[in-house]
Amino acid sequence: MLDQAQIDRLRQTDAGEFPVLSVYVNLEPGPDSLRTLPPRIKDLLAQVEISSESLPRPQRLSIREDVRALSRDVGRFGTDLGHGVAIFLSSGAGIDEQFALPGPVRDRAIVDAGPYTRPLEAMIEHYQSYCVTVIGRRIGSIFRFSMDQLDTWEEMRDEEIRKANYGGFSGYEEQRVRARAEEMAARHYRHVAERLAELRRTDGGFDLLIVGGSDVHVAGLLDVLPTDVAAVMAGTFVVDPGTMTPATVLEHARRVAAEWEVEEERRLVADLFDAAASGGTAILGLEEACVAVNRRAVEVLYIQAERTTPGSVCLECERVTCETGSVCAICGGELSAVPDVVDRLSELVRSTGGRVRHILNEGPLAEVEAGALLRYVSPMVDPT
Ligand SMILES: [Zn+2]
């Protein structure tokens, strides 16, 4: 299963002087998706050949060999590889890696100095680990999913209330039995809540909690969740515990998580824009983001997923910029072209202890492409 350690290892792969061809292919069984696979891959590879024509001969030959190898393999790609596949090749440097992806991905081919991992990073962030609890009066089922796959499933049962025979008993006795049943249900909710707290705090934890069941039991469990568990509540759904399966539970959980994500992204982007409007603590725009990242001033970089913008890195001062000339405007050093400035910015932010958030849903950030929360307030420089 795809994880951060694999991505980190991939990023650290040293291709030396040779370029790496990174290819992402969508395998989601949508209309025509698999039938058109070979022509789609051929199109991507044709673009790669055209764009690598200007490379020096050894690099060009390495890419040409990668394109040939991939062309030979086109027939191999099917849905058994997951919803998508990522391939990293460099015949010159001896790199040949392939990853099955947990979700659909946009087709693309990128030639860069190292493996192009930004779509993988976005995917890891998107497919968080969910804990899904289906709560009944006596039974609680706890499912844990990560990267869209079921990891564990456990069931908790609390003792059954003995069926009472009300015939001939006074109203008092009936009330007593009912109170006892409510007390037992409350105890069951607490047991499940305690188990969730335990899972959240140990054993890898989970990022989101989603609760299903009938309204009354869902409300009963939510009432007794410890604060740190309640803090990661993403939403609830109605399901009949008697007929559910892990697949139907995952279906509900995906929908709740997607709705939660839209809302969470909207809130993050709104906060970013507010911070930028109040001045000093945040910036908006790709070029502005480059400046802040180059100064190591970024705490959180927000980027619109799926957008790529070519740019350059200065070989002298190591500045990342959207400029595409051959000479650095600051130090006069040589600029080296990069296919995606945002990828380089993300890498720099991570390597300097900051965080990167991919925003998947189109919103205000799409118009400015990137934004950042800053580590410190920059001193005002009087431009006069
Ligand atoms: Zn420079």
Residue 372 CA to ligand 1 center (angstroms) comes to: 22
* pLDDT average, residue stretch 84-113: 91
Q: Alpha-carbon distance 371 to 365, whole Å?
A: 7
Residue 12 CA to ligand 1 center (angstroms) comes to: 24
Q: Minimal CA–CA distance to 285: which of 327, 330, 321?
A: 321
Helical spans, DSSP H, in the chain: 4-11, 37-51, 57-73, 118-126, 171-201, 215-223, 227-230, 246-278, 286-294, 341-351, 364-368
Sign of the alpha-carbon dihedral angle for 321, 322, 327, 329: negative
Residue 349 CA to ligand 1 center (angstroms) comes to: 18
Q: Give pLDDT tens digits for 14-50.
A: 899 999 999 999 887 666 666 688 888 899 999 999 9
Residue 335 CA to ligand 1 center (angstroms) comes to: 7
Q: Alpha-carbon distance 243 to 122, whole Å?
A: 34
Confidence band for 61, pLDDT divided at 50, 70 and 90: very high
88 phi, psi to nearest 5 deg: -125, 120
For position 170, what pLDDT does the model report?
A: 66
Residue 351 CA to ligand 1 center (angstroms) comes to: 19
Residue 102 CA to ligand 1 center (angstroms) comes to: 39
Confidence band for 280, pLDDT divided at 50, 70 and 90: confident
Q: Specify the long-range contacts of residues 250-253, CB closer than 8 Å, at least 24 apart.
A: 250/132, 250/143, 250/145, 250/148, 250/150, 252/132, 252/210, 252/212, 253/130, 253/132, 253/143, 253/145, 253/210
In three-state form (DSSP H/G/I as H, E/B as E, the rest C), the secondary structure along 11-25 is: HCCCCCCCCEEEEEE
Residue 212 CA to ligand 1 center (angstroms) comes to: 55
Confidence band for 378, pLDDT divided at 50, 70 and 90: low
Protein residues near ligand 1, an ion, with CB under 5 A: 314, 316-317, 319, 328, 330-331, 333
In order of start, what are the domains of the chain with their CATH numbers?
A: 4-126 (3.30.960.10), 130-261 (3.30.420.60), 279-374 (3.30.1330.30)
Residue 288 CA to ligand 1 center (angstroms) comes to: 16
Residue 312 CA to ligand 1 center (angstroms) comes to: 10
Residue 63 CA to ligand 1 center (angstroms) comes to: 28
Predicted TM-score of the model (pTM)? 0.80
**Per-residue tokens: 254:** 């995906």
Phi-psi region of 19 (alpha: psi -120 to 50; beta: other; left: phi over 0): beta
For position 182, what pLDDT does the model report?
A: 86
209, containing H or E segment: strand 208-213
Sign of the alpha-carbon dihedral angle for 160, 165, 171, 172: negative
Residue 336 CA to ligand 1 center (angstroms) comes to: 10
Q: Minimal CA–CA distance to 338: which of 317, 322, 357?
A: 322
Residue 344 CA to ligand 1 center (angstroms) comes to: 15
For position 1, what pLDDT does the model report?
A: 73
For position 66, what pLDDT does the model report?
A: 95
Residue 310 CA to ligand 1 center (angstroms) comes to: 17
Q: Give pLDDT tens digits for 238-279.
A: 999 888 988 899 999 999 999 999 999 999 999 999 999 998
Q: Minimal CA–CA distance to 276: which of 378, 384, 382?
A: 378
Confidence band for 168, pLDDT divided at 50, 70 and 90: low
Range in 123-132, 323-332, 353-362 with the lowest mean pLDDT: 123-132
Q: Give pLDDT tens digits for 136-160.
A: 988 999 999 888 888 889 999 987 6
Q: What is the mean pLDDT of the chain?
A: 89
Is there a contact between 144 and 205 (Cβ–Cβ < 8 Å)? no
Q: Alpha-carbon distance 105 to 120, whole Å?
A: 9
DSSP state of 334: B
Q: Give pLDDT tens digits for 174-209.
A: 788 888 888 889 999 999 999 999 999 986 789 999
For position 306, what pLDDT does the model report?
A: 83
Angle (CA) 144-146-150 rounded to 5° is 55
Alpha-carbon torsion angle 192, 193, 194, 200, nearest 10? 110
Q: Alpha-carbon distance 129 to 122, whole Å?
A: 14
Angle between helices 118-126 and 4-11 (to 10 degrees): 170
Q: Minimal CA–CA distance to 185: which of 162, 217, 153, 156?
A: 217
Residue 306 CA to ligand 1 center (angstroms) comes to: 28
128 phi, psi to nearest 5 deg: -75, 170
Start-to-end CA span in the chain (Å)? 56
For position 167, what pLDDT does the model report?
A: 54
Q: Percentage of the chain with pLDDT > 90?
A: 62
DSSP state of 161: P
Residue 314 CA to ligand 1 center (angstroms) comes to: 5
Residue 22 CA to ligand 1 center (angstroms) comes to: 27
* pLDDT average, residue stretch 203-225: 93
Residue 67 CA to ligand 1 center (angstroms) comes to: 33
Confidence band for 162, pLDDT divided at 50, 70 and 90: low
Residue 327 CA to ligand 1 center (angstroms) comes to: 8
Residue 296 CA to ligand 1 center (angstroms) comes to: 15
